Amino acid sequence: MPEADPAPDGATKGRSDLPRYDELPAAGRGGRSAWGLFGATDSVGLLNLQTDASVLAAAGLVRKGSVFSLNAELDAVDPPLDPDRAMFRHRVLHQPGPGFEDLDDVLDNFFPQGSSQWDSLAHVAYSPGVFYNGAADDDVLTGHRNTIDHWARRGIAGRGVLLDLDRALNDGGGSYTPDGATAFSVADLEHARSCAGIEFSPGCIVLLRTGFLGWYRGRPRPQRRRLAADLRAPGLEHTEEIARYLWDNQIMAVASDTFAVEVWPPAWGAEAAPFGFLHRVLIGQFGMALGELWWLDDLAADCAADGVHEFFLTSAPLNVPGGIGSPPNALAIK
């Protein structure tokens, strides 16, 4: 039964008194640690910043009633970008009876991270065997700590803001294209934010449009296949400044239209600094929700047209006990 998670021991959910990044304790392998801020057993991470007050305020951003669906089709990315996955199979089942007819359908080989997705806090560990908030492998695999159902049970709603890097970086004659491994610095993000005319707010959800998914989908299949064999995409640069920036702005989620949010490829060897593979820090230390391969082009066109880059965002992940990822099932409502 969709039980609410117990209140974390001693923690006030939705705390507004988050320490600054530089006040956080050092993490074992470098960077700063947010473990324990929401209680020792917390499995939700920065979604704790979602409060009744933040939701109520965000709902007020609905000003014209337009709805934008942010789920790309389930088969939008073909072939899969991860060689350990393969495309789902969908079958429609025909069940005619005497005097009536109905259809059913079934999905096999469905990888929830194959198209638009949330990464749960169980997706990437901070270091081998240690996930967000200190959860061990077994805590995750058997105990379902950090898994997607924790988010599914509470639902996600809040203020969404769009940083349209694709447009912002081409403003005034830029030559950005989404087909390479462009790394976005804090200055780039600030430029896009300034173009959007918005401020961040505690618990906001930042949508980062790079133009990647729209570009990718226009490629012929052989080119998409080559891309899968030699993955690269624009995204957040691999620096502590980026981590500090996201944390200090109390952003609870970042979703982009690439497969990784951060610039790809990362540096993820054993010797790499933790910021070489940002997932490790953002998911494994901060407990930040990362969204990938979201469909942002329709929303972005509307934002460009009306100049409004903030909206009410709702998302209801699949309620899979112990699930690792999920389509976001997100709507932006302006």
Can residue 327 be called a binding residue for a copy of itself (CB under 8 A)?
A: yes
Q: Based on CB atoms, which residue is closest to a copy of itself, 18 or 324?
A: 324
Can residue 180 be called a binding residue for a copy of itself (CB under 8 A)?
A: no
Site residues for a copy of itself, window 139-178 (CB under 8 A)? 140-141, 149, 152-157
Can residue 101 be called a binding residue for a copy of itself (CB under 8 A)?
A: yes
DSSP string computed for 19-84:
PPGGGSPBPTTSSB--TTTT-TT--SGGGGG--HHHHHHHHTT--S--EEE----TTSS-S-SSTT
Q: Based on CB atoms, which residue is closest to a copy of itself, 82 or 240?
A: 82
Buried b (16+ CB within 10 A) or exposed e, 104-138: eeeeeebbbbbbbbbbbbbbbbbeeebbbbebeee
Choice from 26, 92, 187, 305 touching a copy of itself (CB under 8 A): 92
Please, are residues 134 and 294 in contact by the beta-carbon 8 Å criterion? no
For 135, the enclosing helix (H) or strand (E) is strand 135-136
Site residues for a copy of itself, window 206-235 (CB under 8 A)? 214, 217, 225, 229
Q: Closest separation between CB of residue 61 and a copy of itself, Å?
A: 9
Can residue 264 be called a binding residue for a copy of itself (CB under 8 A)?
A: no
Q: Segment contacting a copy of itself (CB under 8 A): 105-113, 159-167, 183-191, 193-201? A: 105-113
Choice from 49, 77, 293, 331 touching a copy of itself (CB under 8 A): 331
Site residues for a copy of itself, window 280-319 (CB under 8 A)? 280, 295, 297-298, 312, 314-319
Within 8 A by CB and 6+ apart from 58, the residues are 157, 158, 159, 160, 312, 313
- Give the residues across from 333 on adjacent strands: 67, 312
Site residues for a copy of itself, window 234-263 (CB under 8 A)? none
